[in-house]
Chains A and B, each alone.
Chain A
């Protein structure tokens, strides 16, 4: 079984291994967020798989961000590897100590240096290190984590939403967003997303990439069905403007549907927990959060 033939094989196993390895066994300090943060709670939320898919779909709607990914990344050849490394990155900057988080962020900055070119859709030049693009990708993630948790995970209070958005500005700065540029409150975030609408479009590449991601080929048979349901939930959780751009009608998010998604996420979580080291890593996080009170 090679990555080329079955690009998504081992998705869960690789994501789980990345998670288990990225939660430190011992640490020099509590990192940039700390066990009392909302970020710690939300990064490990049941809704995280939906948040991840949603944020990729949102981020793809910016043509320059999409072009950068399309022209410089081999993610189609190895989507499982790409998802696992993205997940490892988020886990490291969240739960890792400051040194580990900085190392991970520096690696991302290095990669970004090489990611530059011309977007075939708009004809505009782009560079992954461009603060505007970094803020866009950041905002897509932060908005998706909150939306997914709201719909399918542990509810987040308005105050905690503000805290999360504010905490996450540190993550933006780690990869090179100048201080003060990333949205720092829920209202800021909403304002930013409203303001950037004119720049967004569903390019052919975005449509194809999203299609590819939603119908990921080569998934282990027992994951495929779950993946389809998570994909459906991620679509359903998109904001109206994103649904509009993709040409999808908004879904009715009934309480019953949300409960169904939670149940599917729970089954997925049992599988995830069964992977080596995942439970122990969760316990390490939980213990530190409890010690922080």
Chain B
């Protein structure tokens, strides 16, 4: 082998890496239940026995692309079109292999970030984490002034580790070229790097959460925990402790409760999008807490995308021309304006409509509809169908990558709830070009809330 061949070896960045990751993920799925082989207490014991003791442990566990692969797995549900859904899910499950920090290491982080050990900074500190965040963990505490709070503590050194791995653009490119062949890979990398970098920055996450908390303040069914400013830094976020049932428990509630929870999630998603021009890109079942009556607490604002008015405009136009004005030509033009579709593509507008209509199926016509897992997967399949006549001319510009979450993430959640509502009627309340009167009891309450809000709170 010549030295030139060696140089080529060193520079080779094939597609293999992602397939590897995907395969690793797939196998992980079968492995995952045995990951911490024992159940319950024993599993917890094992996790604690293997807890991360030092920044070196963190680097060994999450360095060398592992943390990035984990994040890619989590984000894959909106960037990925090559991996089967189980692979996407299991890649994100990679994070199950990450044990928590030891109480000492978490305390060190608190000391470094908040200027004193947890038992001095807080009135009460629970050294047992209550939840894992992919790059940190959550502890319960009570502040000096008596507020119950959740304290998210980032793993030490993780930002530097992940930043270094994100710097390997060549490797990322080969990962994504497989994961998302139809998309602009360079744009995607930029988007991914931005998103991951943002997620590592707790200051930004706290800002996003503050903005959502302020906007939805007083909302009849939506709760966003308030940030405790003086106890939040770039690597620690302290917010009000929220109570409620987890997703798995919601699934056991009566259908009427599930319908209400779904309505709240739906209103939250589209109010955020159309009014705050913001989209929380992480509709993961673990990010919600539920109480009866459709009360939902939204956690985790690490993946918020803000849209400029110019970015939002074509989306508004598309839904309007397709669902309200029934103007296929204008719909197509909006798609072209947003660069979703190559202008002058040799396909008929009928074909465009036929292909795209599925995405708007729940809001094209009035009437009660039940979301189903079947619909959610049909949307995903349509999305990833490269044999359709549109495929050669269609793309997802970078700014809209995260919006795929609406189709793939939210519809999947609502499908799992088998949620029934007149989604068109709810959408009409929210669509800025319609602003219809309330169509449900929750809509009535929301209208009253909006009337109460001081005008200054409108963005």
In the bound complex, what is the Cα–Cα distance between A265 and B3 (angstroms)? 22
Which of B25, B35, B165 sits near A279, CB closer than 8 Å? B35
Interface residues in A220-264 (C-beta closer than 8 Å to B): 221-226, 228-229, 231-232, 235-236, 248-249, 251, 257, 259-260, 262-264
In the bound complex, what is the Cα–Cα distance between A267 and B18 (angstroms)? 9
Q: State whether A273 touches B97 (Cβ < 8 A).
A: yes
Tell me how many residues of B have a C-beta within 8 Å of chain A: 41
From B24, B46, B63, B97, residue with most partner A Cβ within 10 Å = B24
B132 to nearest A CB, angstroms? 16
Q: State whether A232 touches B46 (Cβ < 8 A).
A: no
- A-B pairs under 8 A by CB, number: 119
B interface secondary structure, majority: helix
Instruction: Give the interface segment out of A2-10, A29-37, A283-291.
Output: A283-291
Q: State whether A263 touches B97 (Cβ < 8 A).
A: no
Which chain A residue has the least Cβ–Cβ distance from B164?
Answer: A259
1/0 contact string of A268-293 vs chain B (CB within 8 Å): 11111111100110010011001000
Q: State whether B34 touches A226 (Cβ < 8 A).
A: no
B160 at the interface (CB under 8 A from A): no
Q: State whether A225 touches B6 (Cβ < 8 A).
A: no
Which of A223, A225, A266, A273 sits near B15, CB closer than 8 Å? A225
Classify chain A: how many residues form its interface, as a range.
35 or more
A166 to nearest B CB, angstroms? 24
In the bound complex, what is the Cα–Cα distance between A92 and B35 (angstroms)? 23
In the bound complex, what is the Cα–Cα distance between A154 and B63 (angstroms)? 12
A20 to nearest B CB, angstroms? 11
B392 at the interface (CB under 8 A from A): no
Q: State whether B12 touches A229 (Cβ < 8 A).
A: yes
From B16, B17, B24, residue with most partner A Cβ within 10 Å = B16
Q: State whether A225 touches B66 (Cβ < 8 A).
A: no
Q: State whether A274 touches B28 (Cβ < 8 A).
A: yes
Sorted nearest first, the 7 A-B pairs with minimum C-beta distance are A266-B64, A232-B9, A274-B27, A225-B16, A274-B24, A225-B14, A222-B19
Provide a sorted-by-A list of 29 A–B residue pairs whose CB atoms are within 8 angstroms. A154-B60, A214-B1, A221-B16, A224-B16, A225-B12, A229-B10, A232-B9, A232-B10, A235-B1, A236-B6, A249-B3, A251-B6, A257-B10, A260-B10, A266-B65, A266-B66, A266-B165, A267-B69, A270-B24, A271-B21, A272-B24, A274-B27, A275-B27, A275-B31, A279-B35, A280-B34, A283-B46, A283-B50, A287-B46
Add 7 more A-B contacts to A267-B69, A270-B94, A276-B30 (CB < 8 A): A46-B64, A221-B16, A224-B16, A225-B16, A260-B171, A274-B23, A287-B49
